[in-house]
Amino acid sequence: MFRHFNTETNLPFKAQKNAIKGEKMKKVFGAMAVIALLCLCVAAHAVVMETVEVGNAGNTADTTGYGSVAYTYNIGKYEVTAGQYTEFLNAKAKTDKYGLYNPFMASNTAGCQIQRTGGSGSYTYSIASDYANRPVNYVSYWDACRFANWLGNGQGNGSTEAGAYTLNGYNWNDGHGNTIQRNANWKWAVTSEDEWYKAAYYDPNKAGGAGYWDYPTSSNTTPGRDMADASGNNANYYGNPYPIDSGKYTTVVGEFQNSDSPYGTFDQGGNIYEWNEAIRSEGSNYADRGLRGGSFYLPDDFLQASSYRYHYDTLSEFRHIGFRVSEVVPEPSSIIALAGGLVGLLGMRRRRA
């Protein structure tokens, strides 16, 4: 049988074709390996936010008027922790010109115990291991916005002043604060009130049809306070004993087993209040933002049922206030485009070599 050969390689055309195909596959797998390695390198030096997806876009609002969200989004499975915030401070608060650190974090017995050492320009921050996975507290609304901007800008030396929120140094509570809203090109943000509410109370698979629970533990019964109870429906709020965890006022995020919301979030009822974007009260020289969730600090009748809302001025920094973040869900096409771009870049490098 006559066989076609390529005169340059002295290989049959079919064998040459297979060899070329093999080389292409090697490039693809090589690119995938590089991408995986890059991801591992980034993860080793970055804050990793564990999220859950909140789907069922376009759901109806609760009877309270809250909870309808027209899009799918991710939300923090847990409150932002002291360990995560410590990484943020070490990256962006060596001089701390925006007051991202509050000394009460370390000096108050109910603080999250983030320690600061050194002088302005060379501040460093540390967190004890037994507090690293408890929620950060003593943070203002603008602190939370700056953390979200930083996440959206790739962390590290990423900007705190642009991104989800255009801050440009703003750090006050006058009437101008009410004009700072989430930008359309956001990646990470402080939760909106509807995002927060839906993740806490909405259940698309509730018996009898989709609807809302009274408490963010997938229950209409007031939660208990038992850290050892694995049956569920427990939370950290004021009661007896107090504080609840061997002298510590906050509990480790996700501490209460089987007490998650229908979407899988933890501690949206109790532990700490959480900032949200809602403007609750405003005047010519102030604009308060919303809080949801309940805290260890207040009596149990303040445990946040779905009907209860609260608010503080945006500069408030208290032991019972922290926050949670939302993330835009990337389009699948953008992920594919990123992988394709990296493959192309690797190919260009090989050709130039």
Residue 184 or 16, more confident: 184
pLDDT of residue 284: 72
pLDDT of residue 30: 46
Percent of the chain with pLDDT over 70: 79
Angle at 41 between CA 35 and CA 42, to 5 degrees: 90
- Under the banding of pLDDT at 50, 70 and 90, the label for residue 23 is low
Rg over alpha carbons for the chain, rounded to the nearest Å, is: 25
Please give, one letter per residue, the 3-state secondary structure of the chain.
CCCCEECCCCEEHHHHHHHHHHHHHHHHHHHHHHHHHHHHHHHHCCCCCCEEEECCCCCCCCCCCCCCCCCCEEEECCCCEHHHHHHHHHHHCCCCCCCCCCCHHHHCCCCCCEEEECCCCCCEEEECCCCCCCECCCCCHHHHHHHHHHHHCCCCCCCCCCCCCCCCCCCCCCHHHHHCCCCCCCCEEECCHHHHHHHHHEECCCCCCCEECCECCCECCCCECCCCCCCCCECCCCCCCCCCECCECCCCCCCCCCCCCCCCCCCCCCCCEEEEEEEEEEECCEEEEEEECCCCCCCHHHCCCCCCCEEEECCCCCCCEEECEEEECCCHHHHHHHHHHHHHHHHHHHHHC
Residue 87 or 46, more confident: 87
Residue 37 pLDDT > 70 = no
Percent of the chain with pLDDT over 90: 71
Residue 337 pLDDT > 90 = no
| Lowest mean pLDDT segment, chosen from 122-131, 257-266, 328-337 | 328-337
Residue 36 pLDDT > 60 = no
Top mean pLDDT of 131-140, 231-240, 293-302, 308-317 is at 131-140
Residue 18 pLDDT > 90 = no
Task: Give per-residue pLDDT as tens, 110-128.
Answer: 999 999 999 999 999 999 9
pLDDT of residue 94: 98
- Distance from chain centroid for Cα 193: 15
Residue 59 pLDDT > 70 = yes
Residue 337 or 298, more confident: 298
**CATH class, 53-353 region:** alpha beta
pLDDT of residue 307: 78
Residue 139 or 25, more confident: 139
Average pLDDT over the chain, rounded to an integer = 85
Q: Domain boundaries in the chain?
A: 1-45, 53-353
Residue 25 pLDDT > 70 = no
| Lowest mean pLDDT segment, chosen from 26-35, 58-67, 150-159, 240-249 | 26-35
- Under the banding of pLDDT at 50, 70 and 90, the label for residue 130 is very high
pLDDT of residue 45: 53
Nearest to 327 by CA among 180, 186, 162: 186
Whether the CB-CB separation of 27 and 342 falls below 8 Å is answered with no
Top mean pLDDT of 80-94, 234-248, 291-305 is at 80-94
